[in-house]
Structure 1
């Protein structure tokens, strides 16, 4: 029992019962999942993998029987108890691409003809389209229940006081949660509402300028703050000498969290930053370990593979492409789906959890620097690189590097004032020193960098087409 965690109060849904709380059917199911997750995290890796194979076998049987796209694509599989044969057959399955999902979606070939009893209704969602190619996703009510369980696992792992207030700055519908007031809800959302009584949820539209976001945060004075790393880094520059007095923790979502960003955010707000790796179509992929560095793959909810270019699994310390298979979404099975990210595989965690580890998530594959010889290079900017860029352009507020050709870069800068000719020249010299002397470098300045449709700001974008 963790005596350092804040007390939790179960919300009752049973008339005449005030305490202890008795939740309704959805809450009871969630408690059952949380009870299991509390134990399965400590299973040895081999036992987790064996249980995962059993669920994969059920998923494959359903997809073969009920999903037109998979009927011709899935062979018969060895029984999950035959680990070596099952894993060999699994590795031989072709990778599912985003383009294939979009093509199948046009004919709804990826949708199951029917769902097993107990999986509920079909629910339609859309991905954010940060790659420029949005896709439709369909999931079941049962999958949403599993999503909620991992949301709550993250809260419990990181010992959040659910009675506190949560401020969220992220994408929202046009005109929703505008400044100056934003929006206020009585609880933290559907994931917690079925079980726990929580404090208020404050939300603000992501398009609000950073200075006004900071002013709104000071008025709300939240216990927890959740947003994209790029937004949190901008807010860190607005905090000044007086951080938010009640703030206990910052949660980073939706974008890859670079180590320089983490350090800057933690230094400014004087609280820890917790990273969450998820996608809308695949759910929670990995959560930051509550005790050590690194992210634990949520293996009870999906199989996540980090693969080399030849399709073999990466060893600890190697960077590879991320391929995922959600285990419980029988409405639209995504089997060995390459989501477009790169990640670094990690060694087993000292915490003792059997869940696999990612050392870091490095972002989208298409946002690697592309070379004329067909090679790629990850354009990571270190703290020293960023310091040099700031020295070259002291008015810098935000940056983005866009590769427009094999030998051409555009440095986009949001600046507080126009750059001098000397500063432009220094920025060009910085870019060539970082990326290579052979690059032609253009510099563009503006008040604010444009965001994607989901409000994301990426620090490097490769626009060089494939092929």
Structure 2
């Protein structure tokens, strides 16, 4: 790791402090890191061949041990070394939907009756339910080990100093990490896998008001900050308004929501630190990490097959936008095979950095939140920096906004503003919305102290509720 900060391993053997000797889990984690450090540089064809071999193993297990897949999967797959035949058979496997997962959950038919040796125990988690319908997922201890390996890859790619302080604003559990002090743990926890010695982790409830979040951040003065893009954007705005920012901050990590280019630029300008994006889901794990050398994302092919498909179900070419379908490679407890996670992404060309991992230019966000037009057409409601500048100019004192499509011809514009909104400001906001989204829309304005978040603390700037 050229110019990377030093890394200290934690020894698990009494009487040995250096060189450190890890325990069994730490040794397995090091073995994974050793391999993916090398596989990232393989040619794309070699990565794809290795992934097909793991997919064949996953499918064989799912066919034998998972009732849901027994009748769904083909009786046999072609040899994974025969790329054309395997891919043709793979494309014939039906797409798994969120509704099917929820229906199967009632009978637990997606859960494997047994796990191969070495995969450990079953673990239960729930997704955030950003669609309003949470999903229960079961994963194995081995899958959690793989998760740790890719958490560490992200840190290593971006040359983070494990001795630094990591600040996290994401827990929305009532009463969790309340302001003013939040919570402190002596290490980065799962981020270090118990393998690397780290500095402290400080955490704060995501529901803490932005001004108080900034006060907490300034007191803690961390080296790294992790949160949702919408939280980071509000913090950046509070920092600009107050004329204060953390003095030690080296990097900001954006998770869980779509990171718009203008949001990235605003955060970086306010904090004087670069932003690194992470694309992951609780049920499917790491899907893509930002390249250390470029702003686009590398699909984590050693952990998951990520497909970006057009309307006909064909793989998208570079520059095209399609729906994201994922298959975690190592969760044999509850195999999610060709799972449509509801997102859309844009495929990118091979990266100049030399890694063979596929590229996503950008993650567009939830497909359900596309703007729907009366004629049946859908389009992405992307707001450019000039769009946002126009809205700020139209609504003095604007702190936060959200556009909700409540019907095919109606929009609700939620605004958090300082002080009352004048009649002229409301008229200007309506004119802005109709100019941006279409004159055929009737627009209603609603003001409130804060635009609401989901139960998981996530925020969408555009929400489609049209039936």
TM-score range, shorter chain: over 0.9
Tell me if structure 1 keeps the 8 A contact 2:119–2:142: yes
Uncovered stretches (5+) of structure 2, i.e. residues with no partner: none
After TM superposition, the score normalised by the length of structure 2 is 0.99
Tell me if structure 1 keeps the 8 A contact 2:172–2:207: no
Q: Give me the whole-angstrom Cα distance separating, in 2, the residues matched to 1:353 and 1:153.
A: 14
Q: Give me the whole-angstrom Cα distance separating, in 2, the residues matched to 1:45 and 1:174.
A: 45
Tell me if structure 2 keeps the 8 A contact 1:179–1:205: yes
Confirm whether residue 214 of structure 1 aligns to residue 221 of structure 2: no
**Per-residue displacement from partner, 1:182-234 (whole Å, max 9, x unpaired)?**
00001001241421000000000011000000000111110000000000000
Tell me if structure 2 keeps the 8 A contact 1:138–1:331: yes
State the shift of 1:3 in Å: 2.8
Could you say which residue in structure 1 is the equivalent of 2:186? 186
After TM superposition, the score normalised by the length of structure 1 is 0.99
Could you say which residue in structure 1 is the equivalent of 2:8? 9
Q: Give me the whole-angstrom Cα distance separating, in 1, the residues matched to 2:123 and 2:166.
A: 26
State the shift of 1:293 in Å: 2.3
Tell me if structure 2 keeps the 8 A contact 1:121–1:141: yes
Could you say which residue in structure 2 is the equivalent of 1:138? 138
TM alignment of 1:385-424, pairs within 5 A: 385-424=387-426
State the Cα RMSD in Å.
0.7
| Partner secondary structure for residue 443 of structure 1 | strand
Could you say which residue in structure 2 is the equivalent of 1:37? 36
Could you say which residue in structure 2 is the equivalent of 1:262? 264
| Partner secondary structure for residue 283 of structure 2 | coil
Could you say which residue in structure 1 is the equivalent of 2:23? 24
State the shift of 1:165 in Å: 0.2
Equivalent of 1:455, from 445, 454, 457?
457
Could you say which residue in structure 2 is the equivalent of 1:120? 120
Could you say which residue in structure 2 is the equivalent of 1:51? 50
Could you say which residue in structure 2 is the equivalent of 1:77? 77
Count of aligned residue pairs for this structure pair: 464
| Partner secondary structure for residue 107 of structure 1 | coil
Tell me if structure 2 keeps the 8 A contact 1:233–1:264: yes
Confirm whether residue 149 of structure 1 aligns to residue 149 of structure 2: yes
Q: Give me the whole-angstrom Cα distance separating, in 2, the residues matched to 1:87 and 1:229.
A: 36
**Per-residue displacement from partner, 1:214-257 (whole Å, max 9, x unpaired)?**
00011111000000000000000111333210100000000010
State the shift of 1:375 in Å: 1.5
**Per-residue displacement from partner, 1:95-115 (whole Å, max 9, x unpaired)?**
000000000011101000000
State the shift of 1:372 in Å: 1.9
TM alignment of 1:298-317, pairs within 5 A: 298-317=300-319
Tell me if structure 2 keeps the 8 A contact 1:24–1:194: no
Confirm whether residue 320 of structure 1 aligns to residue 322 of structure 2: yes
State the shift of 1:292 in Å: 1.3
Could you say which residue in structure 2 is the equivalent of 1:281? 283
Q: Give me the whole-angstrom Cα distance separating, in 2, the residues matched to 1:279 and 1:158.
A: 21
